[in-house]
Amino acid sequence: MATNQDAFEEARRYIAGGVNSPVRAFKAVGDCPIFFASGYGSKVTDIEGREYIDYVGSWGPHILGHAHEKIITAITRAAKASTSFGAPTVAETTLAKLICEELPGVERLRLCSSGTEACMSAIRLARGATRRRLIVKFAGCYHGHADSMLVGAGSGALTFGSPDSAGVTRATAEETLVLPYNDVDALERAFAAYGPDIAGTIVEPVAGNMGVVLPVRGFLESVAAITRENGAIFIMDEVMTGFRVAWGGAQRLFGITPDISVFGKIIGGGLPLAAFGGRADLMAQLAPEGPVYQAGTLSGNPVAVASGLAALTHLRATPDIYTRLEILSARLAVGLTEGAQRANVPMYLARCGSMLTVFFQNGPVRNLDDAKKSDVKRFAKFHAAMRKRGHYLPPSQYEAWFVSNAHSFADIDKTVDAAREAFAECA
């Protein structure tokens, strides 16, 4: 029987770095990546036959758990009709209609294949509609790996960004202003200095890629107001939070309507699907109606659309799922907090709905600089201890955990018990 280590060594011979997305390499926790063979409900099984309670959920999409019956049935039916047409289908319209009817700020949308593609297109649309060049983003928020978003903060709050990755040119980076998350004053200063050149502001309403970081009271409302007052476009990146933190996402939870919304993960039911949408006048700027070009051969793929429709239709028909997710997640959060306190381990837990992060520090965590104060070595020890006890957690301090409706109360209690022991090991 092949081991995970064997599989990784083989993969490294043919796949760059041995993985098709960097965090999968487990480099941040100094371990070998897990190669999975199957998943059902709240559990995943690796190629060595070891079962884990899963808190990654394919990085968020599996809000209903792995291999949900209605999603598998929909995928199978769609695949039998054809895996791709590269042409319109009625199902695309049905999915778009469902989202538009639920979110007042989304009058039209466009389907694509990934969150990166959707964010990149939303930014291009904002620039095209305003005929301005600069975009404001917040440090620690991840909007995909398009060049203009792989940008780190400059030397000060009002300096242009600098490339975060080789291959991103300085000229591209300098079209993005990077500000601290939850800092309204920095945003006001940015618009005071560069307002006529700023096309839009993009923000994760609840950050998930520096760990879960919640917006402070009034932050999102201020971002929306300041951006619009200056004639720019307010973009809310809900790739992670959309239909996860609540039905309708963070914009429904916080009562904020963006000019452009970006979705992914859950709207594809676990298959590659994303979307961006907004006011009809803005979306009319897209080709073939307008001058902003955006396209994709597999956009609206019928199998992915069927998967997403099954997921969203079930969530809409079963609103009690979100109540149950809140109860499960709160139970987990309380148990983890008590476990850390009992072991005298510095820990700050941030949670929004069924997303949470355990930061190994006292907290609070309000931005990227705060998140970076976490003890990553202690997290690596905790991660290894939890893996040993049959739990699959995100292999990085700076990622979100996800609870699914497939998790049982017994799963949660087993995780809390394992965490008590794991905290004691890394005290």
Q: Which residues are catalytic?
A: 142, 237, 265
Distance CA 236, CA 242 (A): 10
Residue 247 burial (CB < 10 Å; 0-12/13-18/19+)? middle
Q: Coil, strand, or helix at residue 215?
A: coil
Going by C-alpha positions, the residue among 240, 161, 156 that lies closest to residue 203 is: 240
User: Is 307 in contact with 71 (CB distance < 8 Å)?
Assistant: yes
CA distances from 345 to 32, 109, 313, 369 (A): 26, 46, 42, 21
Q: Which residues, including other chains, have CB under 8 Å from residue 229's CB and lie 6 or more apart?
A: none
User: Is 275 in contact with 351 (CB distance < 8 Å)?
Assistant: no
- State the amino acid at position 271 in one-letter form: L
Q: Which residues, including other chains, have CB under 8 Å from residue 370's CB and lie 6 or more apart?
A: 213, 363, 364
Whose tokens are 């649309």? That residue is: 125
User: Is 123 in contact with 282 (CB distance < 8 Å)?
Assistant: no
Whose tokens are 């939303």? That residue is: 122
Q: Coil, strand, or helix at residue 249?
A: coil
CA distances from 234 to 184, 219, 241, 326 (A): 14, 13, 17, 29
Could you please report the per-residue DSSP string of 251-268?
A: HHHHT---SEEEE-GGGG
